[in-house]
Amino acid sequence: MIDTPTSPITSGLPLFFVITVTAIKQGYEDWLRHNSDNEVNGAPVYVVRSGGLVKTRSKNIRVGDIVRVAKDEIFPADLVLLSSDRLDGSCHVTTASLDGETNLKTHVAVPETAVLQTVANLDTLIAVIECQQPEADLYRFMGRMKITQQMEEIVRPLGPESLLLRGARLKNTKEIFGVAVYTGMETKMALNYKSKSQKRSAVEKSMNTFLIIYLIILISEAIISTILKYTWQAEEKWDEPWYNQKTEHQRNSSKILKFISDFLAFLVLYNFIIPISLYVTVEMQKFLGSFFIGWDLDLYHEESDQKAQVNTSDLNEELGQVEYVFTDKTGTLTENEMQFRECSINGIKYQEINGRLVSEGPTPDSSEGNLSYLSSLSHLNNLSHLATSSSFRTSPENETELIKEHDLFFKAVSLCHTVQISSVQTDGIGDGPWQTNLAPSQLEYYASSPDEKALVEAAARFGIVFIGNSGETMEVKTLGKLERYKLLHILEFDSDRRRMSVIVQAPSGEKLLFVKGAESSVLPECIGGEIEKTRIHVDEFALKGLRTLCMAYREFTPKEYEEIDRRLFEARTALQQREEKLADVFQFIEKDLVLVGATAVEDKLQDKVRETIEALRMAGIKVWVLTGDKHETAVSVSLSCGHFHRTMNILELINQTSDSECAEKLRQLARRITEDHVIQHGLVVDGTSLSLALREHEKLFMEVCKNCSAVMCCRMAPLQKAKVIRLIKISPEKPITLAVGDGANDVSMIQEAHVGIGIMGKEGRQAARNSDYAIARFKFLSKLLFVHGHFYYIRIATLVQYFFYKNVCFITPQFLYQFYCLFSQQTLYDSVYLTLYNICFTSLPILIYSLLEQHIDPHVLQNKPTLYRDISKNRQLSMKTFLYWTILGFSHAFIFFFGSYFLIGKDTSLLGNGQMFGNWTFGTLVFTVMLITVTVKMALETHFWTWINHLVTWGSILFYFVFSLFYGGILWPFLSSQNMYFVFIQLLSSGSAWFAIILMVVTCLFLDIVKKVFDRQFHPTNIEKAQLTETNSSIKCLDSMCCFSEGETACASVGRMLERVIGRCSPSHVSRSWSASDPFYTNDRSILTLSTMDSSTC
């Protein structure tokens, strides 16, 4: 049995405290999740049973139950739509809670069930649904419904348009009935719940390294003490002195077991050198510190009423270590608010000016351009319907033919889309002549893509207005004349085809296919129209930074349409390889097209994007833009946002078709970089070339990229974005990466990067939900990194180093004391002090420091991005800094111990009655000096003082004195032994002890002050220089020690020295003064400042 030098309570209580605090935090979060789950699972729902509606809870829904959902209610399971209050069986839903898209989506029931609008009718339904196994993809669903009617079995295909997802909300529909196909954890929403990959910051990795070093120190001290004990006991007089005779059992016990027992006893005695409470303090600092980001008013976007969100507080300090930023373009650098700007119709380019479409060049019939027609179509109220296919294929020879070409173009724009209109808003729109100027006020379009909405609105401005869907009919009003087109099929957009199509039947009976998509996917399928002219126009649009789409059409003969209809039905009802079969049919349909024109919409840059990217570059951060846009558009936007400079040498790795060609091109680029005497290079890579480069030439590709100050990757698939980030992450330098995006296609790269930032934009909230942090605008990234990231890193770096320092100060005297007690494992400190040292006496000052410290003004940090370089590469937690703090702790511990030893050693009496100090008084003296020293050391590290800092710093010292007086001044009945009775009072009654305490504290800290003076005088860092110069711009001089007037005063030299020592500012002496020309924010409303705002200057 081991004779432990300290009680189990002394060793176990700090560990119990750490575990308890962590458990409370985790338990609280679990409790919140439990309440949230109960709220969802217990929601009331109505199901059809035995010919009536029965109220139950959502958790009781089973597969096959028919559920009724009313307007504005949330679907409790994944339902196949059976019927709605509309005759066509359609309904509108919004999936904002699933993918963030706020537009209304239309879902339709099969015709056989759409007529079953009552509970009684539904109770007679006999049908079987066959569908695929549950999967997480929100946009994929394959199944079929076998309906038995009058002894006949009817088979209908089921797709995503028939599935109502759990979590979506019913809109603009009174009620619907649906049958549950996936419930509980098999619903698509539940399958999308996935635990994020655990991200660990560089600080955590450094902490673990330091902990291993201290574990080695602990084991080394225990081994040394054990060996020296047996070396000392080799002399018989010390092995068994007359006052401590061994028992017979002790004499006969195993030497090996005794050695192990003593080694373990020393481990217990010295185990406090391992800062167990460090982890709980770091957890609290991260959790509480994360609230400051959400409270920062400079990160609040007033227009959208969105504040910054913290989804993962474990990475706060990583914001201060970023070396690479990977950003999406659309919606992240740009507003994702599309505005129609230009178009190309039949080889003629037009632009919209003040609501009028104006030709940029002469038409075939007029050298001056047909401006009278294009300015307004309102005089053509008698415009004839679409001409036949043969007239479309004929080049226009007069104004009427030209009008037909434009009419066809805008008809294609108005019909080829998935835009929805609220049924309430369209009441009365379809009757009577339509007025052009009423479109914006009376029609509000909802679209999943901002491009579609902008194009449909543009067509409405030019006289062809999409009125809405009525069953299978699409209604278009052309200059007041209502036309109805029967919607036969929709060929949905997908990322492989990069186009979408609709097949409609015109009022005159023709079956027409309208196609809209990227020029790379539409132009190769065209056999007619002004292909080359349109291609040139598309490239010109792209150079202006505009987003382009091409429009084409095809007319089917009755025989062609019959075959198309049959093949589509077969593909859509297939349960095996449905996607592949649909892709083949789509390719069969979308060919032999006639090109009618192209559109160009503008996506405006977000506010202050250029300034933010420039600031990131000044901070030493490399910015990469990863986008799915075409090459010309992406380069144009990169130039306009400052990612590429006009003076930058732009290198291109595009259109590579083979590994050898790609490798040769990479070698050429590498040679150009070394040979060109250009300061900065930019690299443009497309998706296909990137795939080749990453396949076998990673090192060569990385070498080229690292020598470029800006890289732009275009035509990127979502997984390619993640691969690029992973390539940088695993490079030998292992840089810290940050990814910024706003859409679902950015989720993969956000989760791959060390830090993921989601933009709460118009492409939904999926990126924001899967990110570590979410902000409303790209410009907020500068403050998030340069201010919050800088502060968080400095705070937690100091916290970690300080914890190890104060534990070295704490335990080293315990180790030294063993040399004076024959390594008998006698403890130097009372067990209560051992327990409370980390829990009470020294915990609050460092915690408050780690939450509130501002070693430099936030405004200075933001206006001087170069200061960010000073904390990169985890410099504050380098091995050199760690060794400095550790050696400082050992040196202070030696001063504590030997200073106290020389004071009361040699039988010296320090009391007036001649009584001598004992063992516990000596230990209490060492503990008192140590506690004051480590607390004042924390005060020296503090630059930003608030009343909270004063309270916890000086209050901790005061609490120790008050506690010790009570603890040692009363005989506590529940304590078995009270070694400290009257010890502390006796110590404080000695004037010599007071003098020794002050002398030792000053001696310890004097060494630290001298080092700070030397470093600031001869080797100041950029941050220390900024601390001295910031007073000229933002700190009011009120005889503060952080700034001094031009005139010399009696204490000016002392003030200057103190300033160089600690670079400190007091909030009562600080006032921010901003100028209107500040590049980022005109004021600092951050709650981080905790100080009064004042517009006056020094």
Q: Which residues are catalytic?
A: 328
Would you give the DSSP letter of residue 1049? -
Quote the tokens at residue 762. 């118009």
Quote the tokens at residue 25. 């935090």
Radius of gyration for the chain, computed over Cα atoms and rounded to the nearest angstrom: 38
How far, in Å, CA of 1042 to CA of 1035, rounded?
8
3-class SS at 749? helix
How far, in Å, CA of 685 to CA of 515, rounded?
29
Cα 83 to Cα 106, 122, 863: the distances in Å are 13, 9, 60
DSSP lists the bridge partners of residue 343 as 350, 599
DSSP string, 887-929: HHHHHHHHHHHHHHHHHH-TT---STT-PPP-HHHHHHHHHHH
Token pair 């049973």 in the structure block, residue: 49
How far, in Å, CA of 848 to CA of 798, rounded?
12
In the chain, the largest separation of any two C-alpha atoms, in whole Å, equals 128
Q: Where are the beta strands (DSSP E) in 386-480?
A: 420-421, 445-446, 464-470, 473-478
In this structure, the strands spanning 334-345 and 348-353 are antiparallel
Q: What are phi and psi of 757, to 5 degrees?
A: -115, 125
Q: Of 1086, 331, 1027, 1026, which is closest to residue 784 (Cα–Cα)?
A: 1086
How far, in Å, CA of 683 to CA of 294, rounded?
36
Q: Of 786, 784, 747, which is closest to residue 767 (Cα–Cα)?
A: 747
How far, in Å, CA of 284 to CA of 295, rounded?
17
3-class SS at 291? helix
Cα 69 to Cα 289, 326, 1012: the distances in Å are 43, 43, 70
Contact 79, 58 (CB under 8 A): no
* Helix/strand/coil (H/E/C) assignment for every residue in 489-558: EEEEEECCCCEEEEEEECCCCCEEEEEEECHHHHHHHEEECCHHHHHHHHHHHHHCCEEEEEEEEEEECH
Q: How long, in residues, is the chain?
A: 1098
Q: What are phi and psi of 783, to 5 degrees?
A: -70, -35
Contact 192, 136 (CB under 8 A): yes
DSSP string, 314-360: GGGGGGGS--EEEE-STTTTEEEEEEEEEEEETTEEEEEETTEEEES
Q: Which residues of 262-291 are buried (b: 16+ CB within 10 A; e: fewer)?
A: bbebbbbbbbbbbbbbbbbbbbbbbeebbe
Q: What share of the chain is helix, strand, coil (3-state, %, to 5)?
A: 50, 20, 30
Q: Of 502, 521, 492, which is closest to residue 583 (Cα–Cα)?
A: 492
Q: Of 440, 419, 418, which is closest to residue 429 (Cα–Cα)?
A: 440
421 Cβ neighbours under 8 A, 6+ residues apart: 443, 444, 445, 446, 466, 467, 468
Quote the tokens at residue 295. 């409270």
Burial of 201 (0-12, 13-18, 19+ CB in 10 A): buried
